[in-house]
């Protein structure tokens, strides 16, 4: 397995492409937007520059990694001859189902179809294909080039052979794969998102402020960043989407998103990506300044 296609050049997609390319794989990075592809490649180059500056890779390593990536704006062209496709599009079930219908049509019969979804059912995605045994979840963590974990999620019909292939492949990427079963939120987000949602509820109920909540969790629980800062980093729209998937999947009110989170997403306050969430990022990408609406 040497030829990989990655669907989506956003934060996760370009990180996945970077990781495969740096490990010596030929990567076809696919996005319908040429602008997104350019931005994704610029992000990969900037991340590689940081690695060069730290001495973890050489300029030659950087050049080889960039050289291993080819960009496409057409899925049909991009998936020709690949052994594995990793879909990393927006966390939207209809979009993902449409992509997998196309992949099933355009990809060779041998091709394994993986999704980087953080919460959507692998079984549901596989059901729109005629190769359910070859559909699997490959949930990377952000930032992909740095984070070691990959959640490997088996759909109802995913074969043992495909699961082993993807587990072994993850090790070749210097990652630590963990096999989990297909239930809403899997493991990572089933535990993480209720914590983030509870932090938002704590703010919403006036128990404490943004800085205070994050400080308690960082200093008291040894978390590297507070839950509100982490929500901003993930994207509040993504957090809301995952909570909705879990709420719909389990029909349990404990997964219902906090009204404050819903309103912030409606208002376009999505965190780092929009310049404001629980913190103000207009001057720095670091969570140093609490957003004005939470300082009143």
Which residue numbers belong to the known binding site? 8-13, 31, 91, 96, 118, 142, 273
At residue 239's C-alpha, the angle toward residues 234 and 244, to 5°, is 160
Q: Which residues of 199-220 are buried (b: 16+ CB within 10 A; e: fewer)?
A: bbbbbeeeeebbbebbebbeee
For tokens 């010596």, the residue is: 24
Distance CA 79, CA 109 (A): 12
Of 269, 273, 274, which is closest to residue 210 (Cα–Cα)?
A: 269
Please give the annotated binding residues for NAD(+), written as ranges: 8-13, 31, 91, 96, 118, 142, 273
The distance in angstroms from the start CA to the end CA of the chain is 56
The Cα–Cα gap between 167 and 214 comes to 35
**Under 8 Å between Cβ of 195 and 234:** no
For residue 31, give both structure tokens. 């996005």
What is each CA distance from 157 to 96, 171, 292, in whole angstroms?
A: 18, 23, 49
Distances (CA, A) of 236 to 28, 61, 63, 98, 165: 29, 35, 35, 24, 34
Residue whose entry in the numeric block shows the structure tokens 């965190």? 271
Strand partners, 180: 153
Q: At what angle do helices 34-54 and 59-67 cross, to 10 degrees?
A: 160
Catalytic positions are: 118, 139, 151, 189
Token pair of 75 as six digits: 């899925």
Q: Report angle CA 81, 83, 89 to the nearest 5 degrees.
A: 95
């Amino acid at each position: 397995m040497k030829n990989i296609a990655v669907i989506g050049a956003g934060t996760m997609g370009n990180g996945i492409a970077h990781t495969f390319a740096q490990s010596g794989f030929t990567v076809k990075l696919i996005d319908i937007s040429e602008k997104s592809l350019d931005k994704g490649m610029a992000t990969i180059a900037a991340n590689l520059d940081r690695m060069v500056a730290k001495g973890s890779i050489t300029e030659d390593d950087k050049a080889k990694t960039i050289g291993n990536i080819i960009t496409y704006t057409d899925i049909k062209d991009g998936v020709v001859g690949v052994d594995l496709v990793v879909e990393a599009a927006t966390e939207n079930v209809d979009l993902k189902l449409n992509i997998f219908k196309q992949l099933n049509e355009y990809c060779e019969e041998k091709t394994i179809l993986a999704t980087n979804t953080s919460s959507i059912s692998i079984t549901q995605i596989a059901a729109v294909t005629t190769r359910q045994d070859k559909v699997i979840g490959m949930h990377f963590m952000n930032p992909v080039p740095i984070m070691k974990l990959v959640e490997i999620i088996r759909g109802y019909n995913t074969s043992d052979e495909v699961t082993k292939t993807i587990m072994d492949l993850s090790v070749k990427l210097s990652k630590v794969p963990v096999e989990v079963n297909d239930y809403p939120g899997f493991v990572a987000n089933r535990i993480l998102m209720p914590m983030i949602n509870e932090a938002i509820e704590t703010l919403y109920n006036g128990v404490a402020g943004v800085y205070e909540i994050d400080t308690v969790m960082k200093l008291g629980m040894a978390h590297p960043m507070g839950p509100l800062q982490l929500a901003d980093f993930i994207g509040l729209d993504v957090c809301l989407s995952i909570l909705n998937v879990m709420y719909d999947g389990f029909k349990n009110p404990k997964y219902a998103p906090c009204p404050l989170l819903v309103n912030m997403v409606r208002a376009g306050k999505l965190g780092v990506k929009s310049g404001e969430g629980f913190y103000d990022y207009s001057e720095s990408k670091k969570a140093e300044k609490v957003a004005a609406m939470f300082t009143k």
